[in-house]
Amino acid sequence: MATYHALVVLASACMLIFLGTTTEATSTTHPYASFIHLASVGAWFGISFWVTFVAGVLLFKYLPRHQFGSVQGKIFPYYFALSLVLTSLALASWVHLEGGLDLLAAIKSGNEDGKVVACLGGAALLSALQLLVLGPCVTKAMEARNKKEKEEGFADTTSKVGRSPELLQLGAEFARMHGLSSTANLLVFLGALFQLYVLSAKHVTFATMAPTVAKATFWPWS
């Protein structure tokens, strides 16, 4: 618990450092801002891809159902915390590299920077929602369902035949919360994919990102 709370504090501190040292009146950027942006987006995409499409699938395939849920319940708080840190760093470093954007004004404008800010900001907010709300709710619902399944002798089967109405209700609640969390996770992953496309469309290198990000020559919405 303390570890991923510390990561959240780290993300907040990094955002304040970046956003507080860049204004619209100056194009001066932190010497490592481009590296931090590329590293945060790359790590964000990497952990999202691994947890969603590799580790999760393999654990589900090879572990007993209840054990799989317990392992995921231990992994996800750290996964969501890292997602929050990385998306926050990606957002803050992008704003920093662009010379200090007005976030709300950029989003309302609907231009390229606005779409990027909306994507990165949305991913950060969803990561925070996962960490603070959806993740704990999924774990709580899973533990309640698993406990009732053990009491009724359904720990090793997914069959609904013979289950009590209470157990069916607990299963439905878990499915609902898990569906919301999975949807949020997929959106965060798509956010990373989108930002990678943005960077590739801008032909980004360390040289072209600093002191300001090169303007795109091709955008999917242009």
3-state SS of 79-93?
Answer: HHHHHHHHHHHHHHH
Residue 148 lies in a domain: yes
Output the pLDDT for position 40.
Answer: 93
Q: How far apart are CA 222 and CA 218, in angstroms?
A: 7
Residue 89 lies in a domain: yes
pLDDT by residue (tens digit) across 45-65?
999 999 999 999 999 889 988
Residue 19 lies in a domain: no
Residue 17 lies in a domain: no
- In the structure, what pLDDT confidence band is assigned to residue 151 with cuts at 50, 70 and 90? confident
- In the structure, what pLDDT confidence band is assigned to residue 6 with cuts at 50, 70 and 90? low
Longest dimension (CA), the chain: 69
State the total domains in the chain: 1
What pTM value is reported for the model?
Answer: 0.79
Residue 4 lies in a domain: no
Residue 152 lies in a domain: yes
3-state helix, strand, coil in the chain (%, to 5): 75, 0, 25
Asked whether residue 213 carries a pLDDT value surpassing 70, the answer given is no
In this structure, which amino acid lies at residue 19? Answer: L
Residue 154's domain spans which residues? 31-206
Asked whether residue 73 carries a pLDDT value surpassing 80, the answer given is yes
Residue 162 lies in a domain: yes
Q: Quick check: 92 and 15 in contact, CB under 8 A?
A: yes
pLDDT by residue (tens digit) across 174-192?
999 999 999 999 999 999 9
Q: How many CB atoms lie within 10 A of CB 189?
A: 20
Residue 24 lies in a domain: no
Asked whether residue 114 carries a pLDDT value surpassing 50, the answer given is yes
Q: Quick check: 26 and 61 in contact, CB under 8 A?
A: no
- In the structure, what pLDDT confidence band is assigned to residue 125 with cuts at 50, 70 and 90? very high
Ramachandran angles phi, psi of 104, nearest 5°:
-65, -40
Average pLDDT over residues 71-83: 91
**Which residue, 41, 86, 85, 48, is CA-closest to 200?**
41
